[in-house]
Amino acid sequence: MAREGERYVPRRVLVTGGAGFIASHVVDRLLERRETREVTILDAFERSACARNVTSDARCSVVAGDVRDGALVREILRVKAIDTVLHFAAETHVDASFGNSLAFTETNVIGTHVALEAARRCGTIERFVHVSTDEVYGETLVDGGSEGTSVLAPTNPYSASKAAAEMLVVAYGTSYNLPYVITRGNNVYGPRQYPEKVIPKFIHLLRRGARVPIHGDGLALRGYMHVRDAAAAFDVVLRAGENKSIYNIGAREERTVVSVARDLCAIFNRNPEEFLEYVEDRAFNDRRYFVDSSKLEELGWRQEIEWDVGLRETVDWYHRAIDERYWGDVEPALQAHPTHPPTHSPPTRRSLDAAAAAAADADAAADAAV
């Protein structure tokens, strides 16, 4: 296993869902390090993924395809000589899961199973990082969810699919000794986030002078973390996390949805009394998610970006970077209760022969530089 001291060193990394929001920032972070020889992104480029999220770094290559295509995943692992998998590919929007729950099972459960089986058959994977969610704990009304003691109690189809995927990861670790780490993160915000999520949705609506929908009474509590802090957390877990362990990635502070909306109204100089619209709540809306991140902090991670700074930076990014060509038509995402079905188009295969040759050349160059 490639290590420097006690820290794991990824060399050739597959990032499923790597053109998405959080994953694209993690890819950027990986490529900041010289020892990362190549990152391969596998992404179906459906609704929330975007080619503009992908770095232009020459060490990053992209394969357009579906994580449920086992032959394609195995081919990537073999040809690219992958040693590390970061499994981000997932359907993630809770609202959509109420109306299209089977699609969440297909991607989040079947897709994870396919990726695990490909990793097992490959035989060269030294670390498989599975990206889960704090929502697998269900409502944490009293104490924060803890990796070792809290019972999983998902309350919606999305979180249930992620909990099921976790069980598969643990089973592969037990049955086949596949080295894994699981993360359970809370809400993340920042540049590149598709506007089905609350903060970019509110930003899009306030930019155009429209009212923002508040589910129910707006008092549901969530932790919100800037995406750069989240990417730093994934980097720490990848390199210093203990094999077959679970790590929460949580913000220090909790905020109600309505307080988030009011903070954004202040940035846009909008009167909340005029621009907040209370709408029917979700079929079920957990009142509170909060997790204990002390285990992660023991590895050296700290949340660094303050809320006011991160929120204003995010608004500035959307002002500067977004136009109608970034994601295409986002109108369905801006509805109070998006129910758009995930669009699972057949995967597009790309030849990996040239990539294999390039990988060999890169290895030779890296070895010569040492």
In a domain, 62, yes or no: yes
In a domain, 344, yes or no: no
Distance CA 267, CA 135 (A): 29
In a domain, 345, yes or no: no
Interacting residues of 344 by C-beta distance below 8 A, sequence separation 6+: 44, 46, 66, 103, 106, 107
Look at residue 285 in the predicted model and tell me its pLDDT.
Answer: 66
Look at residue 155 in the predicted model and tell me its pLDDT.
Answer: 84
pLDDT one-digit tens code per residue, 282-337: 666 667 777 889 999 999 999 999 999 999 999 999 998 876 678 888 888 888 87
Q: Grade residue 37 by pLDDT with cuts at 50, 70 and 90.
A: very high
CA-wise closest residue to 145 among 157, 158, 159: 159
Cα 89 off chain centre by: 8
Q: Sheet of 254-256: strands edge to edge?
A: 187-189, 221-226, 254-256
State pTM to two decimals: 0.89
Domain membership of residue 290 as a residue range? 10-334
In a domain, 360, yes or no: no
In a domain, 116, yes or no: yes
Burial class for 337, CB neighbours closer than 10 Å (0-12, 13-18, 19+): middle
In a domain, 228, yes or no: yes
pLDDT one-digit tens code per residue, 147-175: 665 678 888 889 999 999 999 999 999 99
The end-to-end CA distance of the chain, in Å, is 18
Which residues have a catalytic role annotated?
Answer: 134-135, 158
Q: Six-digit token pair at 16?
A: 């499923």
Q: List the CATH number of the domain containing 116.
A: 3.40.50.720
In a domain, 365, yes or no: no
**Higher per-residue pLDDT: 1 or 363:** 363
In a domain, 341, yes or no: no
Whether 348 shows a pLDDT value over 70: the answer reads no
The total of structural domains in the chain comes to: 1
CB 29 within 8 A of CB 307: no
Q: Grade residue 207 by pLDDT with cuts at 50, 70 and 90.
A: very high
